[in-house]
Amino acid sequence: MEENLKIPAHVALILDGNGRWAKKRGLPRQLGHKKGCETVEQIVEDAARLGIRYLTVYGFSTENWKRPAEEVGALMQLFRYYAKRLLKIAKANNVRVRMIGERSRFAPDIVEGIDSLERETKDNTGLTFVIAVNYGGRDELTRAVRKLAADCCAGKLEPSAITEQVVNSYLDTADIPDPDLLIRTSGEIRLSNYLLWQLAYSEIYITDCLWPDFNRDELIKAIEQFNQRDRRFGGVKA
C-alpha cells in the first residue's frame, strides 16, 4: 500500500520521449514538448503531496543547443510561458524553485524569469523543485575545477585540503542532497551527462513510458521499485 512506502527524499528525473510521443501521434515535436511541460507541472504537485523533499528535472542540457534552431527557439518560448505558470504552481504548493546550470547563455528576459522564480519562492518550505537548464555534468565539474584552481592560486585554499566535501561545495548543487532515485523515461539506459557526481550512489529506474504519458501512478511504480532495492554503500546496508 502507498501509505507504507518509504518515500525517497530526492528524486531526479530525465524527461525523455517528448519528440517520440508527438511523432506517434503525427504531431510537431513542439507539441510534444508542450505536453511534456504540462506533465512536469502535474508531477511537481504529485511529488509535493507524496512528501518528496527534492525533485530535480533535466530541463535543457548543454547539448540541446545542437538541436535545429527552430526547435531550440520553440523550447525557449515554452520556457518563458511555463516560468510564469510555474510561479503560480510553486506559490500554491509551497514549492521552492532552484535552477542549476550556466544561465548566462539565455536571453536576458529568460535569465530574469529564472532569477524571479528563485527570488519569489526562496522562503517556501515545502518541496524544492530543481530545474537543470543549460546544464551538463561535465560542464558543472569543469566550472567547479576552475573555481577551485582560482581559489588555490589566490591562496584561499591549499591543494592538500581538497576533499570530496570541498569539491562538492563548489558544485551547483552544493546545498542539495544527492538523489536517492533517478527515473529515466522512454526506455533509454544512459545518464546523458546528468548529475555525474551526484548520482554516484543513486538507485536507477528505467521505464518505457514516454515522458508526456508519465503520471502519479508511474511515479508510485518507481518508488515501489525503489523500496525493493537493497541499498548498500561500500558494502553497508543503508
Is residue 158 packed enough to be buried (19+ CB in 10 Å), middle (13-18) or exposed (0-12)? exposed
How far apart, in whole angstroms, are the C-alpha atoms of residue 219 and residue 205?
Answer: 10
16 catalytic, yes or no? yes
Q: Kindly report the backbone phi and psi dihedral angles of residue 64, in degrees, each rounded to the nearest multiple of 5, phi listed first.
A: -65, -20
**Spatial distance between the Cα atoms of 58 and 75, rounded to a whole number of angstroms:** 13
Q: Nearest CA to 96 among 53, 49, 46? A: 53
**Annotated active-site residue in 4, 16, 94, 124:** 16
User: What distance in Å separates the CA atoms of residue 146 and residue 136, rounded to the nearest whole number?
Assistant: 15
Catalytic residue among 46, 64, 109, 208: 64
Q: Is 64 a catalytic residue?
A: yes
Residues with catalytic roles: 16, 64
